[in-house]
Structure 1
Amino acid sequence: MAVVFQWLVRLTAGLIVLAVLGVGMIYYLASRSLPKYDATLQVEGIGAPAEIVRDNANVPHILAQSDADAFFALGFVHAQDRLWQMMMLRRTAQGRLSEVFGVKTVETDSFIRRLDIYRLAVQSVAAQSPQTLTALEAYSAGVNARIAQINQEALGRGAPEFFIFPMALAPWQPADSIAVGKLMALQLSGQLDAEVMRARMSLALPDPDRLVDILPDAPGSGVAALPEYAALVPDVPRYAAVEPQTINPLSPFGPEAFAGASNAWAAAPSRSASGGTLLANDPHLGFSAPGIWYLAHLDLAAGGVIGATIPGIPAVLTGRSDSLGWGLTTAYVDDQDLFIEELNPDNPTQYRTPDGWKEFETRKSIITIKDADPITLTLRWTDNGPVLPGRFKNIGAVTPPGHVAALSWTALSPNDTSLSGAIGLMSSQDVAQAINASELFVAPAQNLTLADLDTIAMKTVGAVPRRDPNHQSKGRMPSFGYLPENRWQGVMSFASNPGFVAPLGGILGNTNNKTVERPFPNHVSYRWGDTQRVQRWQRLMQARQVHTRDSFIEAQLDTVSATARTLLPLIGAELWFTGEAAPDGTAERQRQRALTLLADWNGEMNEHLPEPLIYAAWLRALQDRMLRDDIGPLANELTHVEPLFIERAFRDVDGASVWCDVRQSAPVETCPDMARMALDDALIWIGETYGTQLESLRWGDAHQAIQDHPVLGDVPVLRYFVNIRQSTSGGDNTLQRGLTRGGAGANAFENVHGAGYRGVYDFADPDSSVFIESTGQSGHFLSRHYDDMAQLWRRGEYIPMSLDQGLARAASVGITKLEPATQ
């Protein structure tokens, strides 16, 4: 027995030793790819010595003797810190994820291949300005210099993920950067989703006149009512069966609610306490670890620029120089149209055009799949754009038999000069030069907010389709592609894009709200991204005669919901302080407790309060009750509350209170009845999910910022090292926006989309400007810079945004010197 025990001890000790050695070996291999920031390196492709000074937040300050060498160094630092992310962005744009991840990404690859994003990017290289071509080539050389260093020095393949998902690292090409830009355009586009949803809703609603309630237009001058979709495109089943589309974490295709949002505002010297212009910007995108943004400073011939870049793209997309600041918000331009193309019943290789039947433009594309046989796609294009499968965005639900759907989209241009616009913007010295440079933007369409030393401005940049005044659906729903009046007629002139320069009030801004009201076809858009945040923004801006950097920061971090302040008095009008006392433990008593809490609440979506959770759950349950009996399963796809719908119903605008009556029941339910039942629904859900002690609830427990690694985030044990999760304030309709996941599950209120970057620029003292990103500069989860900004971001803190080289050197974490390789 003693011998057996001794051997068991030895075996256990041996296993422990092997485990420790195994963990040590894994750590050694993974840590080899951690970049050394204090180094002198000889590299191919750089023209003269350059320095990369990393400050104490690991923001690189790139000091070079030419613009080409500065872009070379930017490519090098992007590849040092975010190589895995760059490779994933490129593979996504190429439709080549399945070579690494197998069958689970085939659908994503298939959709991307049909859009042909990468081929269009390759064609667009020749359309760039000479300045941009120089930047692209130098940037690519910098990325490739880092890849060469990894290969020569065996630096752990460049990132730990490459050990788990090995792949060949092909050299970076100029087209890769343009493709990443097109991928961002895809993530920021939601007009296709809106068209399909409007068509499906038109088919599903018993009374099509009620479409304006659930899919309301932004407030302002009214828009003429549209006919029912079935009248536009006959023979579509009223309730088409839809096979749900699989969404992979690496997929750029998200629901319409996640199509992009942002805030930007500026103050002229007359509205600034310091006498200098002010600019604030916080673009909103889906959260991930690492985040999409990367902070950098480039010392260019035109002057230093500092701000947020995207790894893979050689440009500061939002930031400032000494004399100019620029910020971006999604403009919601109606830049996508879905066309229903009729197939020739005698020859399915042809489709109908205004001039008769025409052959599809076709091309074969092979998707290589890890551990599976390759598949061959037949890509088809019409005059209107690529043909998309019915599973994509539920297009099949609105496509009649004998037809296919094709997409027109401004980003599907072989002459996309958007990157040239971004490069030109970086060298602009004032608002006028910046507006001229931005004429080259094509997609995604953005509202460009500008501030120089004296002037503020906002200009919508990007291509706006020119449509025929007789268009069947005015671009709001899919329409027949063979009718000439439905087809695009080029794009509008840049001069006609909305623009505001030096406004008399001295304040301008955008929260994705409606900017102009124009009659079709000069309308810009019918669908806007915000009707709520702008209300709070207007109040904060006009509450002060003059603003400061700190008041702009305060507005960025504001968590008061104007929506809650508007809707709660409406939906609770007949519930506040009514009813008899109820014994503890009953539904009536729980409802009274909830109403008492909400009655004393000021609408602040603070992470430490219970009221935001009660309010959010109540509105979610209310909208579901109002919709479910009218549109059935389609209600599952309206995952976020539409405040204008609730308000129209409870104010009975044009008879909208009919939504409160359950059509299938004999009694006539009123809106107060629906509100009471929905509150009980919400409290039951809260009790089952978080407990029945309402006073102890925390909004932040439900509203955690989910910044997960797209590939390793679900791996047991490892996920605790790669995912970044934090309790956060804000909500769907606050200026500090934290868009919730939506739906009906326990994770419905997780914060999954918001300001991954915040910047506030003060041109009275430019070096007092500040910025922050939501995770950290490094994409390597063993680096201390992987998440070192996360807590600062959560607490609403910032880091200095200075062009001062001395400050960067004084607290640097390392200085990398790049020297031309000797022969």
Structure 2
Amino acid sequence: MAEQAVLPQIDGELRAAGLESPTRIVRDRWGVPHVEAQSARDAFFAQGFCLGQDRGWQLELYRHMAHGRAASLLNKGLLRIDKMNRTLGFGRDAAREWEEQSDEARMILQAYADGINAAIAAGPAPVEFGLLGHEMQPWSPVDSLAILKMVSANVHWATKIGNGEVASRLGIDALQVLIPDVPADSALIAPAGASWTNGAHAFAGALADLESEPGTRRGGLDGSNCWVIDGAHTSSGKPLVVGDPHLAFSVPPQWYVMHMQCPEFTVAGPCSPGYPGPVYYGHNTQIGWTMTHAQGDRWDVYRERIVRNGSGPEAEWLGSSEPLQWREEVIEIRNEESVTQTVWSTRHGPVVHGDPDSDDEVLTARFGLTDPCHDFDGMMTIFTADNIHDARQGFRRYDSISGNFCFADQQGDIGYQYTGRIPIRDAKLTPVSGWDGEHEWDGDVPADELPQDLNPANGVIITANNRTTTDDYPYYLSFSQTPYRADRLRQLLQGRDDWSPEDMPEVQSDQTSLHARFIAERVGRATVTANGASELQSMISGWDGHMAVDSAAALVYYEFCEQLISLTVRPYFDSPSRLAASSYEEMRILHEQLKADSALILPDGKTWDGVIGEALTKTASVLNERHGGDPSQWKFGDVHPVTWRHNLGRDPERAARFNVGDFPKGGDGNTPNNATGLINQPADHGVSYRQIFDLSSLNGARIVLPPGNSGRPDSLHYNDHIHKWLDMEYFPLYIEWSDIEANSEGSLTLTPA
């Protein structure tokens, strides 16, 4: 017997506890809810209600992840993630943060929670709950704050442990190759061959699990593109605001598009499920904003010397010692016995590697967001701003969100603001000594001294996870940011003063990789004698770097880079404490070492021409075996499909119902139209949403959200945006009620219970 569709009510009336006044929710034919409320509180209530209806499973997953309870929801496979998140303490920090929120922020968060709970009470429960036998408990504002903590916490702490291991094994030169834009401090590096870690750090496995679990890879290495163009360079005379965040491909997607109107504000854009928004992308009636992840470094890792005086472990501090604090965490596992974990902490933070009961030295991680943050006060300032000067004050109040925000207003001004709380200290890219007081923090970078720009002379502001500061900037903010997408966008966006919204899809769809162009040119110059290498060399030597879905040259390049990296970058930096290197990092290192003609990462006795020939030979062997001996039939898309995966889609019997894909896809991690993944695996990361805002008319802004706005597998809107996304098409995000009602799919009026 076929299962009955499980869909929420979207028409008629529904009584909702916690609502103050009647509130209307109109859903359009693209699955986007439009809220008409009589107060800001009821608007946020309705927002929570819509999320509760459409994304209940996702909310529950994110809440369990943030609090370190995911194994109780799914299975033991998430235990390592739970242990890590319990250790890092996002839920504990969020509970303290709730007590420090302003009255307005508490109103926003409580209304949002009340709305989610009203949707839970109204039902029906998500289909995933029935399959797991799960019942959702009431939502709390602390849950929202914990999720924001989690998604704002990148993995720089783990990167620094890995950096230390590489530097200890290979020396200062290796670290400078990894992070060329920040000077390495040799005083903090153990002699080559020495090591103060014993194998991989404690949560290396958890981070690997986090990368592989659908819907959980948020922040961290994720990228984005965004740009604003002032009115002097557009056909309408008003600015354009364009953006596309790059995140893990998952279903439900990591955004939820909606529009809210109340007496205090009108806003529209993609919200991040779990906390109020839109925060990262969106517009009100006067301004529009977009952003990229700034990868702000809020972490330091400390080496702690352990002293034992008979009463328990203590950490050395300024010639004396201090007792370690500890707590026990009981982690429940679905269908299995619970596990008890001891979490140790020093003045700097929790122990993330080593055992204070037995090791003479352990590592702790200090996080810059453990003190209360006040992001939602900033959000309300942006929602009610009349111009970018007012909005900038809101962006400066974003503590958790490390972003490169670009924005524009209807007066014609454009601006940029780096956001997020960043501690003041020297750039320390490896673990630092925690016993001598030499590496303590000196407050936070003042918000008005973070990077910013206003109305640049060229009329365009672009960020794409590239470095945004010059060498004379007085504060350390971050490291390891790649330039390729930003450089390509600069090429595309220069030399015109008549840009229109109709031109922007061509820019967003660009699949030319400047890195690929460089590799193709360098391969063409190589003297190649290896067997089977010359034909492939000729295929890519004159290639333009266009990563088209049907390109044979793109397929050759893709496999060739994998083989060349396997011969050079990967063996050199292999270390148990390092995360598996991202494609961005590996490609950057390869590019820089090739460009410098450096022998640092070459195998002993080899030349670059020699390893290029060897990599071409291996590439020919692999491609002939997998795709046949006729290169004219080779297509990049054959090894580069995109799939949106669901947590329950791991089960082959459920995959067809929950997962979406495969679809052949062009582009890679270095093209503006970003889609990347491991060689011969589906692309698992890329453009997760697109927007084009024309400040001459914000009604009907162009957006697309793959695979769809609903998280209900039985909904038509679960995957109805896929082909628009693939074909570089968009749908309108209306804010005028005549247009909304002309495209209505359902109108639900909530009334106070």
C-alpha deviation, 1:175, in angstroms? 1.1
Seen in structure 2, the aligned counterparts of structure 1 residues 648 and 69 have a Cα distance that, compared at 3 Å, is closer
Distance 2:572 2:413 in 1: 51
C-alpha deviation, 1:39, in angstroms? 2.2
C-alpha deviation, 1:794, in angstroms? 1.4
Task: Tell me, yes or no, if structure 1 residue 40 matches structure 2 residue 13.
Answer: yes
Seen in structure 2, the aligned counterparts of structure 1 residues 686 and 567 have a Cα distance that, compared at 3 Å, is same
Distance 2:570 2:458 in 1: 45
Task: Tell me, yes or no, if structure 1 residue 679 matches structure 2 residue 616.
Answer: yes
Aligned residue type for 1:441: Y
C-alpha deviation, 1:389, in angstroms? 3.8
User: Which residue number in structure 2 is paired with residue 163 of structure 1?
Assistant: 130
- Give matches, 1:17-96, under 5 Å: 23-24=1-2, 27-28=3-4, 31=5, 33-96=6-69
Task: Tell me, yes or no, if structure 1 residue 175 matches structure 2 residue 137.
Answer: no
User: Which residue number in structure 2 is paired with residue 194 of structure 1?
Assistant: 159
Distance 1:464 1:554 in 2: 36
Deviates more, 1:759-768 or 1:450-459: 759-768
Distance 2:579 2:22 in 1: 58
Task: Tell me, yes or no, if structure 1 residue 361 matches structure 2 residue 318.
Answer: no
Distance 2:725 2:90 in 1: 34
Distance 2:135 2:497 in 1: 58
Which of 707, 710, 713 is the aligned partner of 1:778?
710
Aligned residue type for 1:385: G
User: Which residue number in structure 1 is paired with residue 444 of structure 2?
Assistant: 491
Task: Tell me, yes or no, if structure 1 residue 334 matches structure 2 residue 287.
Answer: no
Seen in structure 2, the aligned counterparts of structure 1 residues 543 and 204 have a Cα distance that, compared at 3 Å, is farther
Distance 1:657 1:431 in 2: 49
User: Which residue number in structure 1 is paired with residue 504 of structure 2?
Assistant: 552
8 Å Cα contact 2:520-2:545 kept in structure 1: no
C-alpha deviation, 1:539, in angstroms? 0.6
- Give matches, 1:388-787, under 5 Å: 388-389=352-353, 401-413=359-371, 415-453=372-410, 454-467=412-425, 474-518=427-471, 522-525=475-478, 527-575=479-527, 588=531, 590-627=532-569, 630-631=572-573, 637-638=580-581, 640=583, 642-652=586-596, 656-660=598-602, 662-663=603-604, 668-710=605-647, 712-725=648-661, 726-741=663-678, 746-747=680-681, 750-787=682-719
C-alpha deviation, 1:691, in angstroms? 2.9
Aligned residue type for 2:22: P
User: Which residue number in structure 2 is paired with residue 7 of structure 1?
Assistant: none
Which of 281, 297, 307 is the aligned partner of 2:259?
297
User: Which residue number in structure 2 is paired with residue 378 of structure 1?
Assistant: 342
Which deviations, in whole Å up to 9, do the C-alpha atoms of 1:102-154 show, x marking residues without a partner?
Answer: 4222211111111111121121113223222212111111111111112xxxx
Distance 2:354 2:617 in 1: 39
8 Å Cα contact 2:165-2:195 kept in structure 1: no
8 Å Cα contact 2:215-2:254 kept in structure 1: no
8 Å Cα contact 1:279-1:451 kept in structure 2: yes
Secondary structure of 1:785's aligned partner: helix
Which deviations, in whole Å up to 9, do the C-alpha atoms of 1:593-642 show, x marking residues without a partner?
Answer: 32333234221111121211110111121122124664556699335263
Aligned residue type for 1:485: E
Seen in structure 2, the aligned counterparts of structure 1 residues 234 and 693 have a Cα distance that, compared at 3 Å, is closer
Which deviations, in whole Å up to 9, do the C-alpha atoms of 1:196-240 show, x marking residues without a partner?
Answer: 2321221232x6424433x1425xxxx544317543899626984
Deviates more, 1:624-633 or 1:500-509: 624-633
Seen in structure 2, the aligned counterparts of structure 1 residues 644 and 192 have a Cα distance that, compared at 3 Å, is same
Secondary structure of 1:464's aligned partner: coil
Secondary structure of 2:669's aligned partner: coil
User: Which residue number in structure 2 is paired with residue 8 of structure 1?
Assistant: none
Distance 1:232 1:302 in 2: 61
Distance 1:52 1:658 in 2: 61
Which deviations, in whole Å up to 9, do the C-alpha atoms of 1:75-127 show, x marking residues without a partner?
Answer: 11111111011011111111112223342222111111111111211211132
C-alpha deviation, 1:768, in angstroms? 4.4
Normalising by structure 2, what TM-score? 0.93
Distance 1:782 1:425 in 2: 36
Seen in structure 2, the aligned counterparts of structure 1 residues 237 and 67 have a Cα distance that, compared at 3 Å, is closer
User: Which residue number in structure 1 is paired with residue 180 of structure 2?
Assistant: 217
User: Which residue number in structure 1 is paired with residue 190 of structure 2?
Assistant: 231
C-alpha deviation, 1:368, in angstroms? 2.0
8 Å Cα contact 1:558-1:735 kept in structure 2: yes
8 Å Cα contact 1:320-1:326 kept in structure 2: yes
Distance 1:234 1:606 in 2: 45
For structure 2, list consecutive stretches of 5 or more residues without a partner in the other structure: none
8 Å Cα contact 1:100-1:167 kept in structure 2: yes
Deviates more, 1:491-500 or 1:298-307: 298-307
Cα RMSD (Å) of the superposition? Answer: 2.6
Distance 1:633 1:484 in 2: 29
Secondary structure of 1:375's aligned partner: strand
8 Å Cα contact 2:703-2:732 kept in structure 1: yes
8 Å Cα contact 2:282-2:289 kept in structure 1: yes
Which deviations, in whole Å up to 9, do the C-alpha atoms of 1:762-810 show, x marking residues without a partner?
Answer: 0112224211111111111111110001111111111112211111111
Task: Tell me, yes or no, if structure 1 residue 119 matches structure 2 residue 92.
Answer: yes
8 Å Cα contact 1:368-1:374 kept in structure 2: yes
User: Which residue number in structure 2 is paired with residue 100 of structure 1?
Assistant: 73
8 Å Cα contact 2:169-2:193 kept in structure 1: no
C-alpha deviation, 1:728, in angstroms? 1.4
User: Which residue number in structure 2 is paired with residue 18 of structure 1?
Assistant: none
Distance 1:629 1:718 in 2: 38
C-alpha deviation, 1:70, in angstroms? 1.0
Aligned residue type for 1:820: P
User: Which residue number in structure 2 is paired with residue 351 of structure 1?
Assistant: 315
User: Which residue number in structure 2 is paired with residue 271 of structure 1?
Assistant: 233
8 Å Cα contact 1:338-1:407 kept in structure 2: yes
Greater Rg by CA:
1
Secondary structure of 2:601's aligned partner: helix
Seen in structure 2, the aligned counterparts of structure 1 residues 51 and 355 have a Cα distance that, compared at 3 Å, is farther
Normalising by structure 1, what TM-score? 0.86
Distance 1:373 1:178 in 2: 29
8 Å Cα contact 2:169-2:195 kept in structure 1: no
Seen in structure 2, the aligned counterparts of structure 1 residues 66 and 233 have a Cα distance that, compared at 3 Å, is farther
Which deviations, in whole Å up to 9, do the C-alpha atoms of 1:419-457 show, x marking residues without a partner?
Answer: 332233222221111111123211231111111112111
Identical columns (%): 25
Which deviations, in whole Å up to 9, do the C-alpha atoms of 1:39-85 show, x marking residues without a partner?
Answer: 21122111111111111101001011111111111111111111011
For structure 1, list consecutive stretches of 5 or more residues without a partner in the other structure: 1-22, 580-586
User: Which residue number in structure 2 is paired with residue 245 of structure 1?
Assistant: 205
Which of 283, 288, 298 is the aligned partner of 1:325?
288
8 Å Cα contact 1:81-1:778 kept in structure 2: yes
Aligned residue type for 1:638: A
Which deviations, in whole Å up to 9, do the C-alpha atoms of 1:219-262 show, x marking residues without a partner?
Answer: xxxx5443175438996269846786151554888699x52211
